[in-house]
Structure 1
Amino acid sequence: MVAESDETQKKLPGNRRIPTASNVSGRPQEHSVHTVVVDRDRCAGNGICEVLDPAHFEIGKNGALIILSPSVAPADLSRVHAAVEACPASALRVD
């Protein structure tokens, strides 16, 4: 990866980086800020996400998904992606 100076990197609010030639690879960047998002219209409350990553997901008493921590640290990204990919309703995504 080619390092860029702080002057040439453009950032969005929340320190999200604008894609540049050095950080567009299709893979999450360790320094990027990621957020888990649920499509409430699609979520069926199956709870697979909660089983795979209870630090980020919980099914409430009413059967609705609760996102416990929308921000995803780089160390948690693989668990969150596993939960997103396992969702039978395709109701989860990571931005």
Structure 2
Amino acid sequence: MNIVVDRTKCEGLGMCEAMAHEFFEVQDDGEMVVLDENPGEEHRRELTAAVDACPVLALTLKG
């Protein structure tokens, strides 16, 4: 599985971090960093929740 971020949409609102803090981090400058771009399948549920929580639809999961 791969986490894909559309940087043209991401506003650094932090909903993804709130849902899955071990995979997403919003920096002090508002830039969102993916901490693990290729997580294991066992994390699909929490990552799907993070993707679904993004109000600007900047996140997708591939695979």
Query: Which of 24, 27, 38 does residue 71 from structure 1 map onto?
Result: 38
State the 1:84 CA deviation. Answer: 0.3
State the 1:75 CA deviation. Answer: 1.1
State the match for 2:53 in structure 1. Answer: 86
Q: 1:47-58, aligned counterparts within 5 Å?
A: 47-58=14-25
Larger radius of gyration: 1
- Structure 1: 4+ residue segments shifted above 2 A: none
Structure 2: gaps (5+ residues): none
Higher relative contact order (CA 8 A, sep 6+): 2
Q: Identity of counterpart residues, as a percentage?
A: 34
TM-score (norm 1): 0.64
- What RMSD over aligned residues (CA atoms) do the two structures have, in Å? 0.6
TM-score (norm 2): 0.94
CA distance in 2, matches of 1:37, 1:60: 18
Structure 1: gaps (5+ residues): 1-33
